[in-house]
Amino acid sequence: MRFALLAASAATATIVAVSTALPAVAGDGAQKPIEAIVPAFAQPQTASDVVPERVDLVALGGIASDSTRFLGSDGYAEYWVGRGNAGNVCLIMAVKGEAQVVASSCATITNFYRQGIGLVAGADPKEPATSAEAYLLPADITSDDLGLGMQARSSAQATHDSLISLRPGSNEGVRTIERHDGSSFRFAPVSAALGDR
pLDDT digits (tens, 9 = 90+) for 125-145: 667 778 888 899 999 998 888
Q: How far is CA 123 from the centre of its chain?
A: 18
More confident residue, 59 or 168: 59
Q: According to the model, what pLDDT value does residue 30 have? A: 41
| C-alpha Rg value of the chain to the nearest Å | 15
Number of Cβ within a 10 Å radius of residue 184 = 12
DSSP helix/strand/coil, 112: helix
17 half-sphere exposure, CB direction, 13 A CA radius: 17
Encode 55-108 in three state secondary structure: CCCCCCCCCCHHHCEEEEECCCEEEEEEECHHHCEEEEEEECCCCCEEEEEEEC
Work out the percent of the chain whose per-residue pLDDT is above 90: 43
When pLDDT is averaged across residues 42-70 and rounded to a whole number, the result is 95
Instruction: Point out the least confidently predicted range of 52-66, 118-132, 161-175, 177-191.
Output: 161-175
Q: d(Cα 126, Cα 72) in Å, to the nearest integer? A: 22
Cβ atoms of residues 118 and 189 within 8 Å: yes
Instruction: Point out the least confidently predicted range of 10-14, 93-97, 99-103, 163-167.
Output: 10-14
